[in-house]
A = this chain, B = another copy of it.
Amino acid sequence: MSAEAAAGIEESVHDHGGMAEAGERRIGWAARSMPVLEAIGARFAQDRPLDGLRIAACLHVTAETAVVMGALKAGGAEIALAASNPLSTQDDVAAALSTYGIAVHARAGVDRDTYYRHIHQALDIAPNIVLDDGCDLVNILHTERVELLDEVVGGCEETTTGIIRLRQMAAENALRFPMVAVNDTRTKRMFDNRYGTGQSTLDGIMRATNLLLAGRTVVVAGFGFCGRGVAERAKGLGARVVVTEIDPVKALDAALQGYDVQPMGRAAEIGDVFVTVTGNRDVIRAEHLAVMKDGAVLANAGHFDVEIDVRALEEMAQTVHFGIRPNTDEYVLDNGRRLLLLAEGRLVNLSAAEGHPAAVMDMSFSAQALAVAWLAQEAAGLTPGVYDVPPEVDVQVARLKLGAAGIEIDALTSEQEDYLHSWRVGS
């Protein structure tokens, strides 16, 4: 983290011993791959665009999140952070963040009640701006903490799943403030979803199973940006990839990219590894589990742990061997076949690997930091609803990223500018 960004975290007082130190090392490592956010943090430290604002955030408590928290704090914000997923919290990072003066309400592996209590505790800050990752915090705000709604000027949502829920809320006129769909920026969808989820999902599967992927049949359920990324990486590791979809346009795209497109009913019979990444529930359910091969591996890379019907699996199992490998449970079915469930059906890339590499989080979190600054300035003029990130944010993030990677690109000549704006030129 740059000196200026560090300004935001200077009030660190107590070191929680070795754990905070370990967290700091981890954050430092992530920060190296986040040059864009570092540059934004440095600017924020100078301009203080968030002075006096309170932020409640519900995000994965990871090293990369810590870097964006540092940038927002450098910009002047007071922050309370809860975890958006009970499994993804890195306790050492949480410890380090606490020493930076950020109120962290998160601990790895907590139960459902504690998870929700943590969100409530983060909300206790009475936020002006909310940052969400899956819409749980916004949901609670609109249902159980309505007394806080008046103070909120707006927020940001990180995930496809969350956006779907927000649009539904907006359609029902239930949404009470403007939310920026950070997920829908080009830099987020194209990069974070595709390259981040792609690599980290396969990384998680390899760490959990150490299976050779070359020659295996990997079934990817869902061919959105995330699914595309997972399919590409699986193919890049030598697997045969089968894609399942419900959208004919995406299905056709998958077929034209050379993937084998099948309904899940048939894919279930031929797959060695299954990855769900649809944003929907019960994508793999009893009827599919019933026909899978012995040794089939089940992993979820979608936001919520609802994509694989784990309850059905439990009911079908005669025996379960928990932890047969790290993050791998073996379900032995009636007919003797053994199915391997990774990370209890939760996000495999966060649970069995380390989530998105910092280099992609650099882009989505930079977009988020700039979106927060934009909200701080513009929220007053916005009605409740789901807003796109202004396109210049994307361009700015991409330009900073290219610069950090030492990549130069062309600029339009003035003749070219003119040409693009003139419709009178003939063929």
Instruction: Give the distance in Å from the alpha carbon of A283 to the alpha carbon of B194 in the complex.
Output: 30
Query: What 0/1 pattern do residues 131 to 144 of A give for CB contact below 8 A with B?
Result: 00011100100010
Determine which of B187, B237, B324, B416 lies in contact with A236 in the assembled complex, contact meaning CB atoms within 8 Å: B237
* A211 adjacent to B359 (CB under 8 Å): yes
Residues of B with C-beta under 8 A to A115 = 427
Judge if A291 is at the interface, Cβ distance under 8 Å.
no
| Contact of B248 with A410 in the complex, beta carbons under 8 Å | no
| CB-nearest residue of chain B to A134 | B427
- Docked-complex contact A398 and B248, CB < 8 angstroms: yes
A182 CB to nearest B CB, Å: 15
Instruction: Return the contact of A427 from the options B266, B280, B304, B407 (Cβ within 8 A).
Output: B304
Chain A 186-203 near chain B by CB (<8 Å), digits 1 or 0:
110011001110110001
Binding stretch for chain B, among A13-21, A25-33, A45-53, A369-377:
A25-33
What residues of B have a CB within 8 angstroms of the CB of A236 in the complex?
233, 235-238
Task: List 13 additional A-B contacts (Cβ < 8 Å) besides A246-B410, A255-B402.
Answer: A29-B324, A139-B424, A199-B237, A203-B207, A206-B206, A210-B358, A211-B357, A235-B258, A237-B237, A249-B394, A252-B401, A281-B416, A303-B427
Using C-beta atoms within 8 Å of the partner chain, give the interface range for chain A.
35 or more
B409 with A261: CB separation less than 8 A: yes
Chain A residues at the B interface, C-beta cutoff of 8 Å:
25, 29, 32-33, 84-85, 115-116, 134-136, 139, 143, 164-166, 168-169, 172, 174, 186-187, 190-191, 194-196, 198-199, 203, 206-207, 210-215, 232-233, 235-240, 244-249, 251-253, 255-264, 266, 279-283, 295, 303-306, 324-325, 353-354, 356-360, 394-395, 398-399, 401-402, 405, 407-413, 415-416, 419-427
Residue with the highest number of chain B CB atoms closer than 10 Å, among A134, A258, A324: A258
Complex Cα–Cα for A420 and B171 (A): 13
- Structural contact, A410 and B212, CB atoms closer than 8 A: no
One of B233, B251, B410, B424 near A398 (C-beta < 8 A): B251
**Residues in B whose Cβ lies below 8 Å from that of A411:** 246
A172 neighbours in B (Cβ, 8 Å): 423
Given contacts A199-B237, A324-B25, A405-B255, contact A416 B280 (CB under 8 A): yes
Q: How far is the CA of A421 from the CA of B203 in the complex (A)?
A: 32
